[in-house]
Amino acid sequence: MTRVWQNWEGRFRSRPKHWHEPSTIDEVVAIVQSASKEQPVKVVGAGHSWSDIALPHVHLVTLQRMNRVLSVDHELHQVAVEAGISIHELNTQLAELGLGLSNQGSVNAQSIAGAISTGTHGTGPTFGGMATQVVSLKLVTATGDVLTVSPEENAELWDAVRVGLGALGIVVEVTLQCEPAFCLHSLEQPVPFDMMTQNIQEYAYGAEHCKIWWFPHTEYSHVWQFNRKPLEHLPARWKHWLWWWTDDFLGQRVSNVLLWLLSFVPFLTPAFNRFFRRVSYKRAERTARSNDIFNFPVHIRHPEMEYAIPLEKAGEALQELKRLVEEQRFVVNFIVEIRFVRSDDIWLSPAYQRNSCYIGVMMYKRKHAQEEYFRACEELFLRYGGRPHWGKIHSLAASQLASLYPKYDDFVRLHRKLDPERIFFNDYLHRVLEQGDEPTTKSDAPS
């Protein structure tokens, strides 16, 4: 019987004909060489994308057996790892080596290659997305060649492959820039929505890392600000576990049941949001190891859309989002998440050449209401020049994406050169990269 692959949310599933778990680069090369246009190969990470970007059709490749730390440079604070390592495993091993990731997303189940390939980000207006932490990587291309790509080697591929959408080849090794292990002090506090949106840049730049949740149907947001502290401030482990249990059990598992009950009586949602915010979200402080602050448990299976908009437009866009919810009478049972990312030069990074505010919208169950809400939010984000997170839900196709990414045509041209037979393609990549025509605009992609 063929095995079933499905993504975290459970929205996408397939039964790929061949399931490969290579443990060496040579095995990856052999798999790629057995693939063809009719028998495409899809490398998957942890399936933690909400979009169908990782949906495999014929050959599924998972690098979960390629999960070792290969070498460490203690002077430069760099580690070389096999690309299938999960961020959780990576954090554990980095802690033993006295190192830490400078920034990361809110969960740690993703593989490092999957995370960088979709432009996964944490928060902090002076920190880039995770792909900016990559120093070099090793790529198996459609021809079975193994290329080292860095600003020095195969440099013409560098700005494309880091957020490569899984389209340019299989990343088998990654070298990451880390920093000496550190703690983060977290200060969280409720802030009136209007005050937050009017001063959003002050909040963003007021700490090394800042994230904000807005509770729809309330006048309040909740602002977290994190700053580095030396490792000496590491609290006793039991304190961490107590916090984790409270957040995991009360914050997630109890909320999950409440949200499920609420989905039968959606008209109670606004009152519930107001009550829940008031009792659960108060001023609090905590210090812990960096990844214990960056990450938090997420068990509530929900769909998510996230767009990066120019930072200077963030306050206005959020005020419009609040008006949209009120005027269209959307019943929104889940938070809006607001995070900040520094600009970079990676062609398909949503933060390409602009400091960005990522706005994430979510909804629990209620499929029809969710689709209407997301459609309206997407229209709003696009009016602000928003670029979608590749691993989250969006409805954009090639022609729209081309107008949002100055280097889109260069990426497509490079992709066609590296994978002319489209052996790494799936339906998602067909939708976002195929315009039918050859790219016609300016290019500095390698010819």
Ligand X SMILES: Cc1cc2nc3c(=O)[nH]c(=O)nc-3n(C[C@H](O)[C@H](O)[C@H](O)COP(=O)(O)OP(=O)(O)OC[C@H]3O[C@@H](n4cnc5c(N)ncnc54)[C@H](O)[C@@H]3O)c2cc1C
Binding site for ligand X (CB under 6 A): 8, 42-49, 53-54, 63, 83, 105-107, 110-111, 113-115, 117-118, 120-121, 165-166, 170-171, 298, 389, 391
Nearer CB in complex with ligand X: 114/124: 114
Q: How far is the CB of 219 from ligand X (least distance, A)?
A: 26
Q: How far is the CB of 12 from ligand X (least distance, A)?
A: 10
Q: How far is the CB of 11 from ligand X (least distance, A)?
A: 11
Quickly tell me which residue has 């957020």 as its tokens.
Answer: 163
Nearest residue to 409 (alpha-carbon basis) of 367, 362, 365, 347 = 347
Nearer CB in complex with ligand X: 115/134: 115
- Alpha-carbon distance of 107 to 284, in angstroms, equals 21
Going by DSSP bridges, is the β-strand pair 59-62/41-44 parallel, antiparallel, or unpaired?
parallel
Q: Three-state SS for 64?
A: coil
- Alpha-carbon distance of 323 to 71, in angstroms, equals 52
Nearer CB in complex with ligand X: 163/217: 163
Q: How far is the CB of 137 from ligand X (least distance, A)?
A: 9
Q: How far is the CB of 274 from ligand X (least distance, A)?
A: 25
Neighbours of 334 (CB within 10 A): 25
Nearer CB in complex with ligand X: 171/382: 171
Q: How far is CA 423 from CA 6, 96, 175, 196, 271, in A?
A: 21, 39, 26, 47, 51
Specify the DSSP class assigned to residue 236: P
Q: How far is the CB of 117 from ligand X (least distance, A)?
A: 4
Name 119's bridge partners.
none
Q: Three-state SS for 90?
A: helix
Q: How far is the CB of 109 from ligand X (least distance, A)?
A: 7
- Alpha-carbon distance of 216 to 190, in angstroms, equals 14
Nearer CB in complex with ligand X: 120/141: 120
Nearer CB in complex with ligand X: 166/251: 166
Nearest residue to 166 (alpha-carbon basis) of 22, 306, 25, 348 = 348
- HSE at residue 330, side-chain half, CA atoms within 13 A, is 27
Give the pair of three-digit tokens for residue 318. Answer: 């959020």
Give the pair of three-digit tokens for residue 251. Answer: 């914050």
AA identity, residue 349: S
- Cβ partners under 8 Å of residue 386, min gap 6: 307, 308, 309, 359, 378, 404
**Rounded to the nearest 5 degrees, what angle is found at the Cα of 49, between the Cα atoms of 43 and 55?**
45
Q: How far is the CB of 238 from ligand X (least distance, A)?
A: 26
Could you tell me if 105 and 115 are in contact, meaning their C-beta atoms sit under 8 angstroms apart? yes
Nearer CB in complex with ligand X: 40/166: 166
Q: How far is the CB of 49 from ligand X (least distance, A)?
A: 3
Nearer CB in complex with ligand X: 120/217: 120
Nearer CB in complex with ligand X: 174/318: 174
